[in-house]
Amino acid sequence: MSDPIGSTTAPEIETETDHDQDAVSDAGTTEPETSDPTIASVSDPVVEARDLTVHYDDVQALQPVSMGIPDGEVTAIIGPSGCGKSTFLRCINRMNDLVDAANVDGEMLFEDKNIYDEDVDPVALRRKIGMVFQKPNPFPKSIYDNVAYGLKVRGDTDNLDERVEEALKRAALWEEVSDQLDKSGLDLSGGQQQRLCIARAIATDPEVILMDEPASALDPVATSQIEDLIAELAEDYSVVVVTHNMQQAARISDKTAVFLTGGKLVEFDNTQKIFENPDHQRVEDYITGKFG
């Protein structure tokens, strides 16, 4: 566990925080919080949160969350702005370590180990649980070097050309860039940059890929390419996607977790159930656009 860097989260990557956005209120819809929407519905989760809470200084951003992330599926996390979606996502690979004010309590299990244990190397963890952000953030390097970065940094350079090609193919970018691998990643279009970031995350062979609104900065064509890609990625990886686009969540995910104002996970179930017949009135109100 002595790797100096996580391939998908090099220091120059900025974390996404939406703390300047106003929380949307769903006030007026009080309902007794009875059912626990959580772990029970997922057998053999790849990642499992247990009573996970987050405070930013003394402000609680997440109420205790317990949920399993299903293996080999796409899990969508939806909810109004400010409800803690990004906060939760960042807990899954300890990106909140990079946010000074953030304080995480509870457990996040990955491969039967709490990733918040002292002996866990967050950098090595982030190679297994990679992340893609809202705003594509390629390094100011060639396309090739963007993808090869994590492998080179840990001296893992056998068959590098083939592995770069493979990652670009899996990210559905190879055909567009195969003859220009020396070109700067920054010269690609937004959608291509995002697929490059996905290729960079894939290159080190992660188990889980976290995506925080990966298409919200993209045009409709690029968005649809990313959505198609997410479906393909789920054949090899477990994917967790934060989105505030409910149609997108309905299109691309197998399961959906709904967070509502106050940082509370209100319901987590099969996507079809969430969108057609949710258990909670507040979820139905949110899905049908009554607020948020």
Ligand X SMILES: Nc1ncnc2c1ncn2[C@@H]1O[C@H](COP(=O)(O)OP(=O)(O)O)[C@@H](O)[C@H]1O
**Three-class secondary structure of residue 86 per DSSP:** helix
If the CB atoms of residues 20 and 175 are measured against ligand X, the closer one turns out to be 20
Q: Report if residue 73 touches Mg ion, rule: CB under 5 A.
A: no
Q: Report if residue 85 touches ligand X, rule: CB under 6 A.
A: yes
Beta strands at 102-110 and 47-56: parallel, antiparallel or unpaired: antiparallel
If the CB atoms of residues 61 and 167 are measured against Mg ion, the closer one turns out to be 61
What gap in Å lies between CA 171 and CA 161, rounded to an integer?
15
Neighbours of 144 (CB within 10 A): 19
Of the residues 19, 113, 183, 290, which one makes contact with ligand X according to CB under 6 A: 19
Q: Where are the beta strands (DSSP E) in the chain?
A: 47-56, 59-69, 74-78, 102-110, 113-114, 129-132, 208-212, 238-242, 255-260, 264-270
CB of 39 to ligand X, least distance (A): 21
DSSP state of 39: G
Q: Which one of Mg ion, ligand X, none is in contact with 245 (Cβ closer than 5 to 8 A by kind)?
A: none
If the CB atoms of residues 55 and 169 are measured against ligand X, the closer one turns out to be 55
Residues 52-81 that bind ligand X (CB under 6 A): 56, 61, 79, 81
CB of 60 to ligand X, least distance (A): 9
Angle, helices 143-153/160-170, rounded to nearest 10 degrees: 120
Residue partners of 87: CB distance under 8 A and separation at least 6: 54, 61, 62, 96, 102, 263
If the CB atoms of residues 134 and 238 are measured against ligand X, the closer one turns out to be 134
Residues 93-132 that bind ligand X (CB under 6 A): 99, 101
* Region from 12-20, 108-116, 175-183, 228-236 binding ligand X, contact rule CB under 6 A: 12-20
Q: Report if residue 18 touches Mg ion, rule: CB under 5 A.
A: yes
